Amino acid sequence: MTDQHAEQPDQTGQSGVRAARELRGHVRWLDTFTPLALGVLAVASGIYTYLGVSGLLEQTGAMSIFAAVAYSVAVSVGIFVFWSYVMRILPALTGAGSRIGLGLATVLGSLAIVAMSSWLNAAALAGSAAVEQHLAVTVQDYQAALERANSNAQAAQGLGLDVARASDGFTALSQQEASGALSGVGGQGAVYRVLTQKADELASLQSLIEAQSIGIDAAFAQGNEILSRMRSLIVASGAVEQRSVAFAEQSVRLAGVITDLRQMSVAPLVERAANDLAASVILPELDRTATIRDAQNATITSVLEALELRAETLAIAAQEVQALPQPEETTYTPISTADAVIRYAGNFVPSWAGAIAIDLLPAVLVLILAVTQAAIREGESRGDPARAMTLDDLEAAMRALDRIEGARPDATRAEKVAAIHTVRD
* pLDDT tens string 30-83: 888 888 988 999 998 888 888 888 777 766 677 778 888 888 899 999 999 999
Same domain, 256 and 277: yes
**Is 407 inside a domain boundary?**
yes
**Cα–Cα–Cα angle for 243, 251, 221, rounded to 5 degrees:** 115
- Examine the pLDDT at 198 and tell me if it is beyond 70: yes
**Is 58 inside a domain boundary?**
yes
- Examine the pLDDT at 154 and tell me if it is beyond 50: yes
SS (H, E, C) 6-35: HHHHHHHHHHHHHHHHHHHHHHHHHHCCHH
Q: Quickly state the pLDDT bin for 5 (edges 50, 70, 90).
A: very low
Same domain, 315 and 213: yes
Same domain, 217 and 283: yes
Same domain, 211 and 359: no
Q: Which residue has the higher pLDDT, 298 or 23?
A: 23
Closest to 74 (Cα-Cα) out of 113, 38, 121? 113
118-127, 136-145, 216-225: which has the minimum mean pLDDT?
118-127
Q: Quickly state the pLDDT bin for 221 (edges 50, 70, 90).
A: very high
Split into its structural domains, the chain has a count of 3
Q: Which of 306, 336, 366 is the last residue of a domain?
A: 336
Q: Which residue has the higher pLDDT, 17 or 232?
A: 232
**Is 400 inside a domain boundary?**
yes
Q: Could you give the angle at which helices 34-56 and 362-380 cross, rounded to 10 degrees?
A: 160
**Is 101 inside a domain boundary?**
no
- Examine the pLDDT at 419 and tell me if it is beyond 50: yes
| Mean pLDDT comparison of 179-188, 306-315, 361-370, 412-421, highest-scoring range | 361-370
d(CA 313, CA 162): 9
Same domain, 258 and 352: no
Q: Which long-range contacts (CB under 8 A, 24 or more apart) does 354-357 make?
A: 354/121, 354/122, 354/125, 355/48, 355/118, 355/119, 355/121, 355/122, 355/124, 355/125, 356/114, 356/118, 356/121, 356/122
Mean pLDDT of 255-274: 85
Q: Quickly state the pLDDT bin for 286 (edges 50, 70, 90).
A: very low
Q: Which of 302, 336, 370 is the last residue of a domain?
A: 336
| Mean pLDDT comparison of 213-217, 279-283, 407-411, highest-scoring range | 213-217
Residues in contact with 159: Cβ distance below 8 Å, sequence separation at least 6, in sequence order:
209, 266, 267, 270, 314, 317, 318, 321
Q: Which residue has the higher pLDDT, 156 or 202?
A: 156
Same domain, 148 and 220: yes
Same domain, 149 and 221: yes
Same domain, 140 and 14: no
Q: Which pLDDT belongs to residue 408? A: 58
d(CA 354, CA 384): 46
Give yes or no for a contact between 368 and 91, defined as CB atoms under 8 angstroms apart.
Answer: no
- Examine the pLDDT at 282 and tell me if it is beyond 50: no
Same domain, 254 and 285: yes
Same domain, 372 and 396: no
Residues in contact with 164: Cβ distance below 8 Å, sequence separation at least 6, in sequence order:
202, 206
**Is 108 inside a domain boundary?**
no
Provide the 10 A C-beta neighbour count for residue 80. 20
23-27, 331-335, 363-367, 370-374: which has the minimum mean pLDDT?
23-27
- Examine the pLDDT at 325 and tell me if it is beyond 50: yes
- Examine the pLDDT at 110 and tell me if it is beyond 80: yes
**Is 247 inside a domain boundary?**
yes
Residues in contact with 201: Cβ distance below 8 Å, sequence separation at least 6, in sequence order:
273, 277
Q: Is 396 left (phi over 0), alpha (psi -120 to 50) or beta?
A: alpha
**Is 261 inside a domain boundary?**
yes
**Is 119 inside a domain boundary?**
no
- Examine the pLDDT at 107 and tell me if it is beyond 80: yes
Same domain, 78 and 136: no
pTM: 0.67
Same domain, 157 and 291: yes
Provide the CB-side half-sphere exposure for 140 (13 A, CA): 6
Q: Which pLDDT belongs to residue 345? A: 82
Mean pLDDT for the chain?
77
Domain range enclosing 227:
129-336
Q: Which pLDDT belongs to residue 77? A: 92
